[in-house]
Amino acid sequence: MIRIHQTSWKAVGLVLGLFLFVLSFIFSIALGVTPISFGTVVESFVHYDEASNEHVIIQTTRLPRAFIATAVGANLAVAGALMQALTRNPLASPSILGIHAGAIFFVVLGITFLSVTSLAHLTWFAFLGAGIAAVAVYYIGSIGRTGLTPIKIVLAGAAISALFGSFTQGMLVVNEAGLQDVLFWMAGSVSGRTTDMLLPVLPYMLCAGISAFALAHPLNILTSGEDVAKGLGQRTVFVKLAIAVTVVCLAGSSVAVAGSIGFIGLVVPHLARFLIGVDYRWIIPYSAVLGATLLLLADIVSRFPIQPEEIPIGVMTACIGTPFFIYMARKGLRNE
C-alpha cells in the first residue's frame, strides 16, 4: 500500500510533487518544435536578448503557455475535488456536469452576438454561464424523493451539456466568421495565448484558490454527512453555497482562458485521494500541484505527434481521462 499516513510524510510527498511540477514546468519551456537548451532558457531570464530567436520564443510563447497550463490545471483539479465532495459523487467534474458547456455558451454568445472582445468582460460571461449551468444541474439532479443520486446528477449534467452544446453550435452555424478560431478555443487549448490573457483572470483564480483552501476543513466535516455536520454546529447551507461559488469561479475562469479542458477535474482528485486519503486539507493542495503537473505534461506531449501543428490539449486530456472514467464506472458507485 503506498498510501501515506504520517503528516510529515504527507508534507514530504507534497514537496516531491512540487519538485515534479517545477521539472515539468522547465521541460514545458525547453521542449517543442524548436528545442531549446536549458542554458539558453536560463540565459533568457538573466540577459534577455531581443535579437535571439530562442529568447523571443521563450519569453513570448513558451513562458505564458506554461503559466496558463499551470493555472488552469490547478484550478480545474481543485474545482473537481470540491465538486466530488459536494455532490458525493466520484464522477463529478466541471466538464461532466455541464459547467464547461454553460460557460462556453455564454462566452460564444458574448463574442458572436454582443461583440465583446475584452477578456475581462468575457470572464464575467464565463462566470455567468458556469453559474447558471451549475444551479440547473444541481437542481435537476436533486429533484425527486431519492435526492441527489450520482446517476441522476451525471445524467442531468449530460442533458445540460447537450442543451448548451447545441445552442453554441447553432450560433456558430449562423455566424460562420471566426468559426475556426472559436472552435480551437472551445476544444481546449493553452497555446497561442499571451500573459495579457491570464492577467485579468488571475485575481479571480487566486481568490477562489484561497477560498478553496479555507473551505478544506468545513468540507471534511460536511463529507461525514449533512446531519452530522449540522449536529456539529456547521451552517451547511452557507458552506455548500461557498463551495458552489468557488467552483464556479475556478471553472469559469479556466474556461475563459483555455476553453473546455475535460477530465483533469475528474482524474486528479482521485489520484490525490489515492495517495493521501480522505483529508481535504491535504487533498486540495495535492490536487492543485498534481493538476498543474498533469496539464503541463499533457501540453508537452500534445506538441509532438503532428508537427508543426498541435493537438488541442482538451483532446489529450480526454484520451487520458476517458479510460479512467470508464474504469470508475465499471468499478461501480456507492449508493447506486
Partner 1 sequence: MNKLIAFRSKNGTISFLAEKRTLVVLLVLALLTIAFCVISIGMGSKYIDPVETLKTMLGQGTAQHVLVLETLRLPRVIVAVLVGAALGISGGIMQGIIRNPLASPDIMGITGGAALAAVAFITYLSGTISMKWLPVAAFTGAGCISILIYGLAWKKGVTSIRLVLIGIGIAAAVGSLTTLMIVFSPINAASQAYIWMTGSIYATTWSHVYALLPWVIVFIPLALIFSRTANIQELGDDIAKGLGSAVQRHRFVLLLISVALAGSAVAVAGTIGFIGLIAPHIARKLVGPAFGSFLPVAALTGSLILLISDTAARTAFLPLDIPAGVFTAGIGAPFFIYLLYRNRNS
Residue numbers of the site for partner 1 (CB under 8 A)?
A: 91, 95-96, 136, 140, 143-145, 151-152, 154-156, 158-159, 162-163, 166-167, 169-170, 172-174, 176, 179-180, 183-184, 186-188, 262-263, 306, 309, 311-312, 314-315, 318-319, 321-322, 325-326, 329-330, 332-333, 336
Nearer to partner 1, 11 or 329 (CB): 329
Which residue number, 155 or 197, has a Cβ lying nearer to partner 1? 155
Min. distance of Cβ 139 from partner 1 in angstroms? 9
Nearer Cβ to partner 1, position 9 or 327? 327
Output the smallest distance, CB 218 to partner 1, in A: 29
Q: How far is the CB of 272 from partner 1 (least distance, A)?
A: 21
Nearest to 100 by CA among 264, 260, 253, 265: 260
Q: Return the number of the residue (136 or 212) whose C-beta is nearest partner 1.
A: 136
Q: CB 173 → partner 1: shortest distance, Å?
A: 5
Radius of gyration of the chain (CA): 20
Tell me whether residue 50 or residue 176 sits nearer to partner 1 (CB atom): 176
> Minimum CB separation from partner 1 for residue 170, in Å?
3
CA distance 333 to 336: 6
Say which residues have a Cβ less than 8 Å from residue 201's Cβ, sequence separation at least 6.
Answer: 119, 123, 253, 256, 257
Cell numbers describing residue 156: 442531468
The H-assigned helical ranges of 232-277 are 236-258, 264-276
| Ramachandran area for residue 31 (φ above 0: left; ψ -120 to 50: alpha; else beta) | beta
Query: Residues 326, 144: contact at Cβ < 8 Å?
Result: no
Please give the Cα distance from 268 to 282 (Å, whole number): 13
